[in-house]
A and B are shown apart, each in its own frame.
Chain A
Amino acid sequence: MIRILIVEDEKPIADLLDMSLTAAGYVCDCINNGTDAADAAASRRYDLILLDVMLPGIDGFELMEYLAPLEIPVIFITAKNSVKDRVKGLKLGADDYIVKPFEIAELLARMETVLRRYHKTDTKIVLGDVTVDTQSRVVTRGGQPVNLTAKEYALLLFFLQNKNIALFRETIYERVWENDYMGDSRTVDLHVQRLRKKLGWEERITAVYKVGYRLEVNE
């Protein structure tokens, strides 16, 4: 279980992060000012801190100086886009710097990179008899390696990142094929069919009427 501390004074954004990260399987705490954030970071073991720069009370940069000795990875989230601010943030010891407005998918990808750097993510994902090693990109089923194409592998990872969430076909296509959805859903259907067959997941990946697909995990 990976625990994330969200320090953001704008409630809509804090809620947005909470909602998205919870859906992605993280556990989140939201705090809306610098002073409380410092206390929280000191009292509880967090794996990652998402830190807004413009905060009431102590601002993000000042807070960073306090957080640095705790050795918790920090990603700045800010509207300040100048090179000067980026350099300042990174020099203070932040691991990454994301500028508003950002997309959740990008944030998740960057968070994973940072967490992997700190060896906080499991490189092995196990689901039933299927094991995915995200480092060597090897997928096995019952100990036997399964041959997946690059797109199939990306599709599998996307499902694993969004367990139990009904995903629209359009979104799947956009995220996996990294193209805007052109209206042809057969590509997605085709790949889902192949993935189901190769992994024996006919029951796990269920079709959701008028929406798309969902990876069902009962834990």
Chain B
Amino acid sequence: MKFAFKVTLSALTVMILAVSIGSYALITLSFRTSLERETKVAQEELKMLRGSYEALCGARGVTIENLDASSRGVNRAAQESPYFRDHQFRVTGPRGVIYSNLPSQSDSGLLELTGPQTSAYVIRCDADTDQIQIHCAGPVLLPDGVLYMETARDISSIYAARETHYTLYRWVLLAVAFLGGGLLLIISTLLTRPIKSLEKGAQRIAQGDYSSRVPVEGSDEVSLLAESFNHMAETVEKNIEALEEAAQHQEDFTASFVHELKTPLTSIIGYADILRSQELPEELRLKAAGYIFSEGKRLENLSLSLMTLLVVGHTDEDMAEISAQRLCETVRRATQPSLAAHDLRFSAQAEDGAILGDMSLLETLLINLLDNARKASPPGSTVTLTGQRLPKGYRFTVEDQGRGIPEQDLKFITEPFYMVDKSRSRAEGGAGLGLSLCRRIVELHHGAMTFESREGEGTRVQVTLGGGAHA
């Protein structure tokens, strides 16, 4: 069932209940008042009649003793008097009814409740006339006894009025139910419309349209909910985007990895197959064997780089305060021969200082950067490694005068398997993992690595690390 229907139905129930209780109370109250008034009138009437009758009896000297004889006279007088004629009553003596002009002679046993000092009344439905009557009885005092007088007042109209009110009330209730119900339905539909749009928005998002938002109107709870909903949708969208990006990253990595793995494998298998199935001329055999060797080396390089990349960060790093100068010296000794072999001038200088880090990882980092500088530099140019103490840290700068990195490639160079110049990297035996490893190491040290490069002029890499206290 729709929410609007529920609201309508519950409001309608409350409304009908309120109208019912109110009307019933009103009708009942009005009925009671009328009934009380009629009762009072009936009692007053009886009292006056009794008084008049007593006076009549007194004037005629009626006693219980001479009742049989005198009653006829009294009756005649009563019949003749316009006052008594206008009222309907019955008088009963010890030996039965003396006078009666009541339309019905039914007896409701009221006389048994009545004594010389007490009067009584009862409301009854008269069987003969089908009227609802107030039947009153009271004593008429004679010198030597008591007569009893009864009156009957027709109050059917009060009951009829109550019935009329009830009927009216039913019609009013019906009208209220229909008109009010319709109105309530319209109002509740209008009020629940934002919820409806919220639901549709949620559905759209569930179906994958993460950029979908719901309109926010006004400032009530529903619009607050809509706002929160939009906020949630935004967060979900961001998360999804991040996940998709990560998945894409993973996919790219896998694709590159597969390519890097399968290419040398194809060559190795292919050349080995040729070698073992045919007798080749010396020149071709050497060529094939050469390729098998170089491609095998390439596979070895790939697996080593990949292993390092995967292992770094998964083993416990030995973080300690290390001397920047010692690190610089170690790196200088390790790289000097290969740089010299490529006919490059190399200078390594470091200011006094301490770095918080893992010695062997930082060595790998700097050696990798210097190796890249070597690959990029033409013979005769200069490669420098400088260490500089900062107020809160330490910075190494590796600079070369090599070929530089094109601007559009700069932001990708730390991606795994990314190679600016594929054929040249291949020739150098690279798999495109060196800078990924460097980035990984810098991340582990909570440091920063920035590249500045100008094509044809050279590249400067700055690595900023924590530490910096005097060694």
Interface residues of A, Cβ cutoff 8 Å to B: 9-13, 15-16, 19-20, 23, 32, 54, 56, 79-81, 99-105, 162, 165-168, 170-171, 208, 211
Question: What string of 1s and 0s marks CB contacts (under 8 Å) between B249-267 and chain A?
Answer: 0000001001101111111
Q: List 10 A-B contacts (CB under 8 A).
A: A19-B287, A54-B259, A79-B258, A100-B262, A101-B266, A103-B273, A105-B273, A162-B278, A168-B276, A168-B279
Identity of the chain B residue whose Cβ is nearest the Cβ of A172 in the assembled complex:
B277
Say yes or no: is B269 at the interface (Cβ < 8 Å to chain A): yes
**Which residues of B sit under 8 angstroms from A12, Cβ to Cβ?**
263-264, 267, 271, 291, 294-295
Asked whether B276 lies within 8 Å of A16 as measured between CB atoms, the reply is no
Q: Which of B266, B284, B287, B422 contacts A102 (CB 8 A)?
A: B266
Asked whether A168 lies within 8 Å of B278 as measured between CB atoms, the reply is yes
C-alpha gap A99/B264 in the complex (Å): 13
- A-B contacts besides A12-B267, A20-B270, A99-B262, 6 pairs, CB < 8 Å: A10-B426, A12-B294, A16-B291, A23-B278, A105-B273, A168-B279
Please report the total number of B residues contacting A with Cβ < 8 Å.
28
Q: Which of A79, A80, A100, A165 contacts B278 (CB 8 A)?
A: A165
C-alpha gap A40/B284 in the complex (Å): 27
**Which residues of A sit under 8 angstroms from B259, Cβ to Cβ?**
54, 79-80
Identity of the chain A residue whose Cβ is nearest the Cβ of B263 in the assembled complex:
A10
**Which residues of B sit under 8 angstroms from A10, Cβ to Cβ?**
263, 267, 426
**Which residues of A sit under 8 angstroms from B267, Cβ to Cβ?**
10, 12-13, 16
A83 CB to nearest B CB, Å: 14
**Which residues of B sit under 8 angstroms from A20, Cβ to Cβ?**
270, 274
Q: Which of B255, B262, B422 contacts A101 (CB 8 A)?
A: B262
Asked whether A168 lies within 8 Å of B277 as measured between CB atoms, the reply is yes
Question: What string of 1s and 0s marks CB contacts (under 8 Å) between B372-414 and chain A?
Answer: 0000000000000000000000000000000000000000000
Asked whether B255 lies within 8 Å of A80 as measured between CB atoms, the reply is yes
Q: Which of A56, A100, A104, A166 contacts B422 (CB 8 A)?
A: A56
B417 CB to nearest A CB, Å: 11
**Which residues of B sit under 8 angstroms from A9, Cβ to Cβ?**
422-423
Asked whether A100 lies within 8 Å of B423 as measured between CB atoms, the reply is no
Say yes or no: is B288 at the interface (Cβ < 8 Å to chain A): yes
**Which residues of A sit under 8 angstroms from B261, Cβ to Cβ?**
79
**Which residues of A sit under 8 angstroms from B291, Cβ to Cβ?**
12, 15-16
Within 281-336 of B, Cβ neighbours of A (below 8 Å) are at: 284, 287-288, 291, 294-295
Asked whether A101 lies within 8 Å of B269 as measured between CB atoms, the reply is yes
B264 CB to nearest A CB, Å: 7
A135 CB to nearest B CB, Å: 27
Identity of the chain B residue whose Cβ is nearest the Cβ of A209 in the assembled complex:
B279
Asked whether B278 lies within 8 Å of A16 as measured between CB atoms, the reply is no
**Which residues of B sit under 8 angstroms from A54, Cβ to Cβ?**
259
Q: Using known A-B contacts A12-B295, A56-B422, A79-B259, determine if residue A19 contacts B264 with beta carbons closer than 8 Å.
A: no
Q: For B265, B266, B287, B423, which residue has the most chain A Cβ atoms within 10 angstroms? A: B266
A188 CB to nearest B CB, Å: 13
C-alpha gap A9/B423 in the complex (Å): 8
Identity of the chain A residue whose Cβ is nearest the Cβ of B264 in the assembled complex:
A12
C-alpha gap A171/B274 in the complex (Å): 10
B192 CB to nearest A CB, Å: 45
Q: Which of B255, B263, B265, B274 contacts A104 (CB 8 A)?
A: B274
**Which residues of B sit under 8 angstroms from A15, Cβ to Cβ?**
287, 291
**Which residues of A sit under 8 angstroms from B269, Cβ to Cβ?**
101, 103
**Which residues of A sit under 8 angstroms from B270, Cβ to Cβ?**
13, 16, 20, 101, 103-104
Asked whether B266 lies within 8 Å of A13 as measured between CB atoms, the reply is yes
Q: Using known A-B contacts A9-B422, A15-B291, A80-B255, determine if residue A100 contacts B274 with beta carbons closer than 8 Å.
A: no
Asked whether A211 lies within 8 Å of B262 as measured between CB atoms, the reply is no
**Which residues of B sit under 8 angstroms from A165, Cβ to Cβ?**
278-279
Q: Using known A-B contacts A16-B270, A79-B258, determine if residue A167 contacts B263 with beta carbons closer than 8 Å.
A: no
Q: Which of A80, A81, A167 contacts B277 (CB 8 A)?
A: A167
